[in-house]
Structure 1
Amino acid sequence: MNQPKQSQQSALCVDDDRELRELLHELIGQMGHTSETAVDGVNALEKMEKKHFDIVITDINMPRLDGIGLIKRIAADFSDTDVIAITGYQTEYNYTDIIALGASDFISKPINIDEFEAKIKRIVRERNMRFELRRLSTCDALTGLYNRRHLDDNLQNEAIRASRQHYDLYLLLIDIDNFKVYNDKYGHQQGDRLLQELARIILRSIRENVDSGYRYGGDEFAATILHANPQQALMVAERLRTEYNAKNLVP
């Protein structure tokens, strides 16, 4: 997934109280974000296995899997997701306990709307700052693709997720034939343009927010193809090769 913008967040509102779930869902929408709801921790994890959520707002006292168990699972398996815990007046957990478990913030019932919105805005600001820092450290400055560091860090996690969720993962390795000869003949500036054009072709050939493109180094590139079969992965590789050859990228 190549550098998605982080202004709009996706939230999951988890509570066995239907009225509170719907209130949280409505408030999130009014703030310009998207949200879904879940009735308890088990239902929430089922949804999180299928879709990424930036923020989870969860009650503590729920049937099946309560908020404490959910926070622990999110901290272990979905560490990029921020959690706001909601508690009633009668609870054995305080702010320090909840934060120590892995939550990002804490709010008490009855919900104060201004306080809730302020906490969401703070988390969004912090997520955007983290995203920008991550982008700068994982993005190749010349092409805008992810860099080798991100591929090395991300590939194992993608493989684990693919195994857990039972889908196929393919890795395409791409390089430019005789790039050094091209670079020596036409100069580094023209060579950079060639690398940038190949990066654009890679992005056009893969699915936005599903697959990812990388510049591995020099004229070496890679792409990860998720939720595909061998024929589909081969089609991506062939589409990429065909478009590159059709460009006739000689000045």
Structure 2
Amino acid sequence: MRPFSILVVDDDKNLIFTLSEILRMHDWLVDIADDGFKGIELAKQKPYDLVLLDVRMPGIDGIKTLEEIRRIHPETIVFLMTGGLINQLTDLQQKGVNTIIQKPLNVSKVIEMIGNIEKNRPKNKGVILLVDDSDDDRVTLNEILIQKDFSVIQAKSGSEAMVLVKENDFDIALLDIRLPDIDGITVLEYIKKEKPGAFVITMTGYDLAGVIDTIVAKGAYSCLLKPFNIEYLLKEINELIEKKNMDIEPLPGNRKEIIKVLVIEDNDDVRETLKEILIEEGYVVDAAATVNEARNFIEKELYSVILSDLQLGTDSGLSLVEPAKKKDKFTVFFLITGRTNLETALESTGNNVDEYLIKPVNPADLLHKVKTFLEKQRLNRENAKLLKQLQQSNIKLVELNTTDELTGVFNRKNLFEQLNIEMQRSKRQNKDLCFMMCDIDGFKKYNDTYGAAEGNILIQQIVSIIKGNTRNYVDRIFRYGGDEFAVILPEANKQTATEIGKRMISGAKEILESKNIGISIGICSLNPDYLQSSMNEFIDATNKKLSEVKKAGGNGISS
């Protein structure tokens, strides 16, 4: 999981510097801003799990800064900090403030609250770097990806993207090829140089001829032509995340590989002897004499096996178990002890210590136990990999549940999610949005006469007609019921939607008139007719339009 990220915004520079240093000690990623405008700019570049925000600031106060950050990232948790009376600010909790904190801060309490939030935060599927100079495209993609549980880092230029690539880890980059300052191919090269493990999906609104070969040769996974099908993009992103998650390092025992071992012993002779025994067996060995030295090794390196003396001066080797297992839960931890401390060693085996060794250590016994536990480690890793594959397969099944098996278009369940997204986008950007309901005239009689198999063929023909007369990669088609279909028409006004509907009716007449089959269509425009309506009200209004056509004899449009 990505590190927990915090933005601190306060005009008191001493406070933000001191507070940020304390927060970083807990392995949290912390950015600071000494005014609201800078805080908003940082929030535009990437999402934060938590924002600590001062109420009173010059220029733009905390309340207006809060509103703007909420607009950019509605899911971000916000703590307001104030030196005034808290009871005067309680009404702000209705505006999206999660907590109000009194200054001077009780730092221990703040850290405890942040720790609880980090522990309970939802897991994201992956981190996406989104690079596009179009504000509308960037905002829309950001919203969709966040709703799908991805974390998004945004850049609107090539130079901004290159800075973010250097400073952040991410799984996939969505990269527009045409950028205002640096061309996307140069940015692509930079990404593949700095983050070779990241996948890059390129996007362009221009002709792909002569470009796609260059893009693929530079390391791009694919290139999409705008406007593209959002569902196709999400499917491709999920597949890449799945591929990245499956790409686990080869397991011990499957090939000749470097197996790293850390030996921690304060007796120089014993430490060197253990090190030599393990090196002769082909292991790569680091050695430490103190707990602090060992901690530094554990922070920097990943070890398959750690052997530690129980008593290290005034410190205990047991204190190293937690950081070692936190780094890699599969690390094998051996505790070395004298017979006088055997009882403590036996008790520790129930405390994430895998095994104990008694001094003086028998070389044959040591090597046998190391090999045995490495085999157990291999099996545990394999089981974890299989479990992850099973989980990914389950995710795949969920994705399959969004489409209709007979027609291949989206199903009714997926309609509500997609329509909600488009309605929110239309309202926010003041763009047109039309919704269409279609019903097959004469279907019941045809189905009863010729049977379900012929009825299914007829439904597939109708879907082909609807697809052939809607805009590829823009409009989305859904099977609403048995012989009913819905179409979402983004950025289409009522006149455009009506023309599309007329083409559908004409197409059905040309192909299916001999079968006494036609199409009835109801259309509603969100803006301005139903701008204040809920999604259900918008659907119901469109259904009423469809009913008007059916009552009038069918094979027509009501808008």
**TM-score, length-scaled by structure 2:** 0.28
Identical-pair percentage = 30
- 2:196 corresponds, among 86, 108, 117, to 117
Letter of the structure 2 residue corresponding to residue 165 of structure 1: Q
Distance 2:444 2:74 in 1: 46
Where does residue 494 of structure 2 map in the other structure?
230
Q: Secondary structure at the match of 2:455?
A: helix
- 1:208 corresponds, among 472, 478, 498, to 472
- Structure 1's unaligned 5+ residue stretches are 1-59, 89-97, 106-110
Stretches of 4+ aligned residues off by more than 3 angstroms? 60-64, 72-78, 80-88, 111-115, 121-124, 127-135
Deviation at 1:71, TM superposition (A): 2.0
- Structure 2's unaligned 5+ residue stretches are 1-30, 49-71, 76-142, 154-163, 173-189, 201-220, 222-236, 244-391, 517-559
Query: Is residue 2:442 matched to residue 1:175?
Result: no
Deviation at 1:186, TM superposition (A): 0.6
Distance 2:415 2:194 in 1: 39
Where does residue 65 of structure 1 map in the other structure?
41
Which structure 2 residues correspond to residues 80-159 of structure 1 after superposition, within 5 A?
A: 80=148, 83=152, 86=165, 88=167, 113=192, 116-120=195-199, 125-126=240-241, 133=397, 135-159=399-423
Deviation at 1:153, TM superposition (A): 1.7
RMSD over aligned CA atoms reads 3.7
Q: Secondary structure at the match of 2:441?
A: coil
Distance 1:160 1:233 in 2: 19
Q: Residues 183 and 209 (structure 1 numbering): CA distance in 2 closer, same or farther, change over 3 Å? A: same
Deviation at 1:74, TM superposition (A): 5.9
Q: Residues 230 and 68 (structure 1 numbering): CA distance in 2 closer, same or farther, change over 3 Å? A: closer
**TM-score, length-scaled by structure 1:** 0.58
| Deviation by residue 1:169-200 (Cα, 9 ceiling, x = unmatched) | 11111011121111010111110000001111
| Deviation by residue 1:95-127 (Cα, 9 ceiling, x = unmatched) | xxx89xxx769xxxxx89567121327976116
Q: Secondary structure at the match of 1:207?
A: coil
Distance 1:250 1:237 in 2: 20
Q: Secondary structure at the match of 1:176?
A: strand
| Deviation by residue 1:48-77 (Cα, 9 ceiling, x = unmatched) | xxxxxxxxxxxx899762268622446843
Residue pair 1:170, 1:233 contacting (<8 A) in 2 also: yes
Query: Is residue 2:508 matched to residue 1:244?
Result: yes
Residue pair 2:165, 2:191 contacting (<8 A) in 1 also: no
Q: Residues 133 and 104 (structure 1 numbering): CA distance in 2 closer, same or farther, change over 3 Å? A: farther
Aligned residues: 175
Distance 1:114 1:205 in 2: 44
Deviation at 1:154, TM superposition (A): 1.5
Q: Which has the larger radius of gyration?
A: 2
Q: Residues 134 and 161 (structure 1 numbering): CA distance in 2 closer, same or farther, change over 3 Å? A: farther
Residue pair 2:426, 2:433 contacting (<8 A) in 1 also: yes
Residue pair 2:171, 2:199 contacting (<8 A) in 1 also: no
Q: Secondary structure at the match of 1:170?
A: strand
